[in-house]
Every structure is written in structure tokens, then in C-alpha cells.
Amino acid sequence: MDLESLGHASATYQQDPRVIAVCLKAVGVTEPHLRLNGVAYYRVDDIVSAIQHLATIDAKAAAESVDQ
């Protein structure tokens, strides 16, 4: 199982870690898989699901702005 911190996910996906944290909650991830030295680590699959959720929201917003 691969784990990733919000800081690493933020750098990888070019998103604010606070936004990723909110999206994690939106996809049903309430707790990190591991907390080590104060750093929360989440499963990479959960991070990817959160990023996909964010991309869906962004795509809908972009489509709505084009329609107007």
C-alpha cells in the first residue's frame, strides 16, 4: 500500500493541500491511514479519488461558464 502526505500530493498535483483535505472528506476519507511525527499520510488511491473529485467540480464550473 502506497501512502502520501498532503504536502507531497500538493506538489504532485499542483493543488492547495487544504483543498485536497476538503476533497478527501467529500469522497468519504475522514482519517489519515497513518500519522507519523505529526504528518498525516493517506492512501494514494484516496488522494487520487479526491483529485478526480476536484477535477469534476472544476470541469462542471468551466462548462457552466462557457454556456453563459
Name 42's Cβ contacts closer than 8 Å, sequence gap at least 6: 3, 4, 5, 6, 9, 24, 29, 32, 33
- In this structure, what DSSP letter does residue 31 have? S
Stated pTM of the model: 0.86
Chain segment 38-61, per-residue pLDDT in tens: 999 999 999 999 999 999 998 998
Query: What is the domain partition of the chain in residue ranges?
Result: 3-67
Chain segment 12-40, per-residue pLDDT in tens: 999 999 999 999 999 999 999 999 999 99
For residues 53 and 58, give the distance between their C-alpha atoms in angstroms, rounded to a whole number: 9
Instruction: Specify the length of the chain in residues.
Output: 68
Give the pLDDT of residue 17: 95
